[in-house]
Structure formats: structure tokens, C-alpha cells
């Protein structure tokens, strides 16, 4: 199994590197591969190529890799914690909850006055991330409490409905807030990896690194939760503190993605399924790197399609992810034995 994880990881890394390079090369302006590599390594290259690659395309690709990886890992955690094969931060409404948290904060600032708005604008990275984290955490705690009462599919439907509700509330809130407030945050409608400023990349990365470390640390006890709560307790796991730790890890992984990239759909739901198929096991630890790499690959692929040199305006990321992801979810719902047993 170790070899399966290693070879799968190597293959995913190679695919990710290849696809990233392709995304850096192609776009509205196609660059020769040599120029792209030259710009990346800092050797001979035109100023224009360097500007396009390093300042426009690279931050986007890096954001896609970080966010996709975070969503993939969070998906593994959520599916194990909820014991639900269709759980993920997007499908259970955590991302929408995060957006609503941001909307509340922005609206509050808009009503508090220009000083508050400019404070938000100056400390955009941390303040938006914190607001998103609060929203994600509230949604997660609510769904976890609900998850103990209803079946997997019911929870999925409720999660999606909760998502619609928060999105509706968010747009109503922003209608009443000053326009200036709304502009602080770009990710209201669609997800995008292009909106992040290069200077904000560390704000995206730092919480995710801590969240990933927490995910790895909880991997072993979380594996025993796969057999159910009582078996986990009989194996010496303190289930309540485990739940809190996994929730904290999920919030750390997901909140920065909401804050900087918006509600990225489907990646966290399907990456864990690819990881399980590749690893041949449901144990958590081997799934984490595979789901991270798979999520990153999906994110870069979606971004590559969005930013391909189309004639007209850009496509929307979530629409592309829906085309890639929704059929997979339909197949899971029809064929997954776990889902059938929940019915």
C-alpha cells in the first residue's frame, strides 16, 4: 500500500507540474516554453514574458494549487468526520457560511463608517480570513450537530439549501451595505484563483499549512472513527476532542480559500474519492497527500480551461468545475455502496 501511495503521488506531482507549466505558457498571449522556463528560473527572458509569467499567471497557478490541495484535504477530513461520502466544505454549506461571515463583517464596517471600511481594506487578508473562519466554523458546528440526526443524503440536500440561503442573505446584505464595502471582497458570485494579489499568497498559505499539520496529526484517531464512535472510544480515542480538532483543521484549511478564492465547488467532494481509489484504502493518513495533489490538479485544470485563449470573455471557474465534478457526484450517488446503505 505504501508503494501504491508513493507511485500515485509521484504520478500526480508529474501531472501537476506538467499542467502548471502548460497553464503558465498558454493564455491570451502564448509564450514559447523556453521563455516561460526562462522567466521562472530568472535567466534570459523578455520583460514582457517575465511580467506575464511571474506577476499574472504564476500567482494564479500557485493559488489554485494551494486552494485545491486545501479543499482536497478538508474533503477527506469531512467525509471521515461525518461518515458521509458526499460531505465536503462546499456541499455542506461551509463555504457559503464563510461568505456570509465576510458579508456580515463588510456590512458592519460599511455601517460603522469609512474608518472601519478603510481598516478592512488595509488589513484585508487577515480580517477577511477571520470573518470567513467564523462563518465556516458556525456552519460546520451546525452541520455536525445535524449530521447525527439525519442520513447522508438528507444532510447533503440540507447543506446545499443552507448554501443557497447564505448566498441569498449575502446578496441582500450587500444590497444594503455601501458599495465601497462590497468592493473589499471580490469573491461574492464566482470562485476564481485570479483575484488574489501576489502579496496575499502568504495569508492564503499560512493557515492552510497549520490546518494540514493538524489534519496529519488527527489522521490516526480519525481512521478509527471510520468504524463508528463506540469502536473509536474502545480504541482509546477521545471522540469529543477529536471532533474539535478535526473541525479546527477543517476551518483552517477552508476559511482562507473562501476569503481569497470564493466558494470553490466540487473539488473537495471528489478529490477524496480519487484518493481512495488510488490508495486502495480508506485509512486517513495515506489519503491526505493524494487528495491534496488530486485537488490541486483539479483546481489547476479548471483554471487552465477558464483561462485558455477563448475569443470572448473569460468562463466562470465554478461552471467548469461543475461540468467536471457534477457527473462524478452523480456516479457516486448511483453506485457508491455506502450511499446505497444510507438510503
In the complex, the residues that contact other proteins under the rule CB under 8 A are 83, 85, 217, 219-221, 223-224, 226-228, 230-231, 233-238, 276, 280-283, 285, 336-338, 341
Which residue, 37 or 226, is less far from other proteins as judged by CB? Answer: 226
Q: Report, in Å, the least distance between residue 221 CB and other proteins.
A: 8
Residue 320 and residue 305 in contact, taking contact as beta carbons nearer than 8 Å? yes
Min dist CB 57 to other proteins, Å, is: 37
Among residues 343, 295, 342, the alpha carbon closest in space to that of 321 is found at 295
Query: Smallest gap, in angstroms, from Cβ of residue 158 to other proteins?
Result: 21
Q: Which one, 80 or 120, has the nearer CB to other proteins?
A: 80
How would you class 210 by CB atoms within 10 Å of its CB: exposed for 0-12, middle for 13-18, buried for 19 or more? middle
Which residue do the cell numbers 469529543 mark? 240
Shortest CB 71 distance to other proteins, Å: 19
End-to-end Cα distance, the chain: 31
| Whether the Cβ atoms of residue 179 and residue 245 lie closer than 8 Å to each other | no
CA gap 267, 254 in Å, rounded: 12
Nearest approach, Cβ of residue 142 and other proteins (Å): 24
Name the minimum Å distance from CB 296 to other proteins.
Answer: 21
Q: Are 289 and 5 in contact (CB under 8 A)?
A: yes
Distance CA 156, CA 213 (A): 27
- Cα–Cα nearest to 139, from 172, 104, 171: 104
Amino acid at each position: 500500500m505504501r508503494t501504491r501511495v508513493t507511485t500515485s503521488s509521484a504520478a500526480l506531482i508529474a501531472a501537476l507540474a506538467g499542467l502548471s507549466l502548460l497553464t503558465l505558457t498558454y493564455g491570451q498571449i502564448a509564450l514559447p516554453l523556453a521563455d516561460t522556463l526562462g522567466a521562472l528560473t530568472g535567466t534570459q527572458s523578455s520583460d514582457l514574458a517575465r511580467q506575464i509569467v511571474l506577476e499574472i499567471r504564476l500567482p494564479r497557478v500557485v493559488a489554485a494549487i494551494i486552494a485545491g490541495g486545501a479543499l482536497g484535504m478538508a474533503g477527506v477530513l469531512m467525509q471521515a468526520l461525518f461518515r458521509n461520502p458526499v460531505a465536503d466544505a462546499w456541499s455542506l454549506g461551509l463555504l457559503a457560511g464563510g461568505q456570509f461571515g465576510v458579508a456580515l463583517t463588510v456590512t458592519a464596517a460599511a455601517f460603522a463608517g469609512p474608518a472601519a471600511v478603510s481598516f478592512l481594506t488595509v488589513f484585508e487578508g487577515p480580517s477577511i480570513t477571520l470573518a470567513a473562519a467564523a462563518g465556516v466554523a458556525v456552519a460546520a458546528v451546525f452541520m455536525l450537530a445535524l449530521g447525527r440526526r439525519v442520513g447522508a443524503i438528507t444532510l447533503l440536500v440540507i447543506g446545499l439549501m443552507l448554501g443557497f440561503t447564505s448566498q441569498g442573505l449575502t446578496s441582500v446584505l450587500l444590497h444594503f451595505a455601501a458599495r465601497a464595502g462590497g468592493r473589499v471582497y471580490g469573491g461574492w458570485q464566482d470562485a476564481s484563483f485570479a483575484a488574489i494579489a501576489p502579496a496575499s499568497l502568504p495569508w492564503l498559505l499560512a493557515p492552510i499549512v497549520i490546518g494540514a499539520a493538524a489534519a496529519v496529526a488527527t489522521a490516526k484517531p480519525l481512521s478509527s472513527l471510520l468504524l463508528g464512535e463506540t469502536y473509536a472510544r474502545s480504541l482509546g480515542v477521545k471522540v469529543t476532542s477529536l471532533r474539535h480538532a478535526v473541525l479546527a483543521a477543517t476551518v483552517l484549511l477552508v476559511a482562507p480559500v473562501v476569503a481569497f478564492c470564493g466558494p470553490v465547488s466540487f473539488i473537495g467532494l471528489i478529490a477524496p474519492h480519487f484518493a481512495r481509489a488510488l490508495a486502495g484504502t480508506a485509512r486517513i493518513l495515506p489519503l491526505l497527500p493524494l487528495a491534496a495533489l488530486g485537488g490541486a490538479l483539479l483546481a489547476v485544470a479548471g483554471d487552465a480551461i477558464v483561462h485558455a485563449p477563448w475569443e470572448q470573455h473569460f468562463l466562470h471557474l465554478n461552471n467548469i468545475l461543475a461540468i467536471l465534478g457534477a457527473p462524478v457526484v452523480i456516479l457516486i450517488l448511483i453506485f457508491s455502496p455506502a450511499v446505497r446503505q444510507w438510503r
